[in-house]
Amino acid sequence: MESEEFKRLFIPLADKLYRIVRRLVDNDEEAKDIIQDAYLKLWEIRDQLREIENREAFCVRLVKNQALDYLKSARYKNACDSISGDMAQEIPQTEKNADPLSEMIRTENGAIVSKLIEHLPQQQKELIRLRHYGECSMEEIVGLTGISAGNVRTILSRARKKIKEEFEKIFEYEHR
Amino acid sequence: MNTDELNRLLEKFYDGETTREEELKLERFFSSEPIPAHLQVDRELFLSMKKHDSQIEVPQELSGMLSDLIDRCEAEDAQTLSAPKGFSIRFKAFTQQFRFYSAAASILILLGLSLTLFKMNDTRPRDTFSDPMEAYLETQRILSYVSKNMQAGEKAVALYDTNLKKVHQVLEEKRIIE
């Protein structure tokens, strides 16, 4: 596959792939790096890519894998420790065409919930990110993490209950 | 969605049992319909756990950056391919030889390591004296040291014993007087 064909087929997917990675890793620079690495990998196997039926699904899987590797890496743990949740606190941009007040509340709650997720144990944090931010199906999570479906459910349940418990305290305090 | 179904889905959600479809159903419900007050927390939590695409801004330079990356890779590939043929054959022969030697070296290293480790783990007692007379003298020395210490211990115990007897005697006398 020549570079022109490669670019024509894969560059248009970049925005979508970036969004997927960015949802999972919460950091612009890391997301960019992950995408670049993914494109390098794609380029290396470019001759086999013709045989792949669903290129987009293949790329999505590839970047999710790379993002998960990053979340498991020492680099990510160091980033979490040194910035101590600054990234998690980062307030996302508000959605357009929505009621500004409810949007502001949502944004604020979003930041609180991100922070609560950051404080979960490593495995719970990973699965919550994959499920809620990465919108991964159960099969995908099992494939990506190698954890059995039963265990994924247990870990997700524990994490969700924990987040709810903590969130409830904050929410009730704010609405007293 | 009626209350029963909502409660059932929420329970499933916190038990980690919901499918993606069911979670989407909850999401649609929470973002559209007015909900009872006691579910306010669940609603806020549920909607806050999602990241919307519109919250993520794709860097403008991304496509250009990736395009440059591919160009660079292609240029590098072209360079490796255009290397002189003689070189590539020699290189191949070298790598084959290298493979053989590296395999041989690994086996040697493994052998060496296993021998060293085996020796390190060997805890069998070893003879420390070659001359039997010397060994006999050393044993005697150790035994006399032990006996000397034991004698000292015996003396202390004897002293304690006499003291105890005295106390006992006094107590006995006192009892008789009373």
Burial (CB count within 10 angstroms: exposed 0-12, middle 13-18, buried 19+), residue A24: buried
Containing structural domain, residue B169: 131-178
For residue A37, the domain's CATH number is: 1.10.1740.10
Give contacts of B42 with chain A, Cβ < 8 Å: 164
Q: Give the closest of A133, A155, A160 to B13, CB-based.
A: A160
Looking at the fold, whether B69 and B46 belong to one and the same domain comes out as no
In chain B, how many domains are there?
Answer: 3
Three-class SS state of B1: coil
- Residue A71 amino acid letter: L
Q: What is the DSSP string of B112-160?
A: HHHHHHHHHH--------SSHHHHHHHHHHHHHHHHHHHHHHHHHHHHH
The answer to whether the beta carbons of residues A24 and A67 sit under 8 Å apart is: yes
Q: Are A3 and B19 an interchain contact pair (Cβ–Cβ within 8 Å)?
A: no
The answer to whether the beta carbons of residues A64 and A38 sit under 8 Å apart is: no
Looking at the fold, whether B172 and B141 belong to one and the same domain comes out as yes
The vertex-B6 CA angle with A164 and A135, nearest 5°, equals: 60
Q: What is the per-residue pLDDT across B79-97, written as a single tens digit (0 to 9) for each?
A: 777 655 555 556 666 677 7
Looking at the fold, whether A41 and A122 belong to one and the same domain comes out as no
**pLDDT of res. A92:** 46
Containing structural domain, residue A129: 91-176
Looking at the fold, whether B30 and B74 belong to one and the same domain comes out as no
Min distance B69 CA to chain A CA atoms (Å): 8
Q: Give the closest of A14, A128, A135 to B62, CB-based.
A: A14
The answer to whether the beta carbons of residues A36 and B66 sit under 8 Å apart is: yes
**pLDDT of res. A93:** 45
**pLDDT of res. B125:** 66
What is the C-alpha separation between B39 and B67, in angstroms, rounded?
49
Three-class SS state of A125: helix
Looking at the fold, whether A18 and A49 belong to one and the same domain comes out as yes
Q: Which chain B residue shows the shortest CA-CA distance from A140?
A: B20
Single out the residue of A153, A150, A173 nearest to residue A161, CA to CA: A153
Q: How confident is the model over B115-124, as a mean pLDDT?
A: 78
Q: Are A171 and B41 an interchain contact pair (Cβ–Cβ within 8 Å)?
A: yes
- Mean residue pLDDT of chain B comes to 83
Looking at the fold, whether A137 and A153 belong to one and the same domain comes out as yes
The answer to whether the beta carbons of residues B12 and A135 sit under 8 Å apart is: no
Examine the fold and report which residue of A65, A83, A101 is the final residue of a domain before the chain moves on: A83
Q: pLDDT band for position B2 (50/70/90)?
A: confident
- Mean residue pLDDT of chain A comes to 82
Q: What is the per-residue pLDDT across B22-73, written as a single tens digit (0 to 9) for each?
A: 999 998 888 887 788 888 888 888 888 887 777 788 888 899 999 999 898 8
Residue with the two structure tokens 């612009």: A28
Q: Give the closest of A106, A152, A156 to B47, CB-based.
A: A106
* pLDDT tops 90 at residue B12: yes
In chain A, how many domains are there?
Answer: 2
Structure tokens at B111: 């052998």
Looking at the fold, whether A56 and A117 belong to one and the same domain comes out as no
Q: What is the per-residue pLDDT across A152-170, written as a single tens digit (0 to 9) for each?
A: 999 999 999 999 999 888 8
Looking at the fold, whether A125 and A168 belong to one and the same domain comes out as yes
The total of other beta-carbon atoms located within 10 Å of residue A7's CB is 16
For residue A108, the domain's CATH number is: 1.10.10.10
Give contacts of B66 with chain A, Cβ < 8 Å: 10-11, 14, 35-36, 39
Looking at the fold, whether A78 and A98 belong to one and the same domain comes out as no
B122 found inside a domain: no
Structure tokens at A39: 């494109």
**pLDDT of res. B143:** 92
Looking at the fold, whether A62 and A126 belong to one and the same domain comes out as no
Min distance B56 CA to chain A CA atoms (Å): 6
B150 found inside a domain: yes
Q: What is the DSSP string of A37-84?
A: HHHHHHHHTHHHHTT-S-HHHHHHHHHHHHHHHHHHSHHHHHHHHHHT
Examine the fold and report which residue of A66, A83, A100 is the final residue of a domain before the chain moves on: A83
Which range has the worst mean pLDDT, A29-33, A67-71, A83-87, B112-116? Answer: A83-87
Q: What is the per-residue pLDDT across B124-141, written as a single tens digit (0 to 9) for each?
A: 666 677 888 888 888 999
| Chosen from B42, B46, B56 to mutate, greatest number of chain A CBs within 10 A | B56
Min distance A81 CA to chain B CA atoms (Å): 22
**pLDDT of res. A48:** 87
Q: Are B70 and A14 an interchain contact pair (Cβ–Cβ within 8 Å)?
A: no
Examine the fold and report which residue of A83, A115, A137 is the final residue of a domain before the chain moves on: A83
Burial (CB count within 10 angstroms: exposed 0-12, middle 13-18, buried 19+), residue B59: middle
* pLDDT tops 90 at residue A104: no
- Among A87-91, B7-11, B98-102, top mean pLDDT goes to B7-11
**pLDDT of res. B9:** 92
Q: pLDDT band for position A94 (50/70/90)?
A: very low
Looking at the fold, whether A77 and A143 belong to one and the same domain comes out as no
* pLDDT tops 50 at residue A57: yes
**pLDDT of res. B92:** 63
> In Å, how far from its chain's centre is CA A128?
9
Give contacts of A156 with chain B, Cβ < 8 Å: 16
Looking at the fold, whether B135 and B177 belong to one and the same domain comes out as yes
* pLDDT tops 60 at residue A97: no
Looking at the fold, whether B71 and B100 belong to one and the same domain comes out as yes
**pLDDT of res. A95:** 45
* Cβ-based interface (< 8 Å): residues of B facing A: 13-17, 19-20, 40-42, 44-45, 47-59, 62-63, 65-67, 69-71, 73-74
Min distance B117 CA to chain A CA atoms (Å): 32
Q: What is the per-residue pLDDT across A19-32, written as a single tens digit (0 to 9) for each?
A: 999 988 878 889 99
Complex ipTM: 0.73
Q: Going by C-beta distance under 8 Å and a sequence separation of 6 or more, which residues neighbour residue B84?
A: none
Q: Give the closest of B20, B45, B62 to A164, CB-based.
A: B45
* pLDDT tops 70 at residue A4: yes
**pLDDT of res. A176:** 67
Single out the residue of A27, A139, A172, A22 nearest to residue A85, CA to CA: A27
Looking at the fold, whether A107 and A159 belong to one and the same domain comes out as yes
Looking at the fold, whether B7 and B28 belong to one and the same domain comes out as yes
Q: How confident is the model over A36-60, as a mean pLDDT?
A: 89
Q: How confident is the model over A101-130, as a mean pLDDT?
A: 83
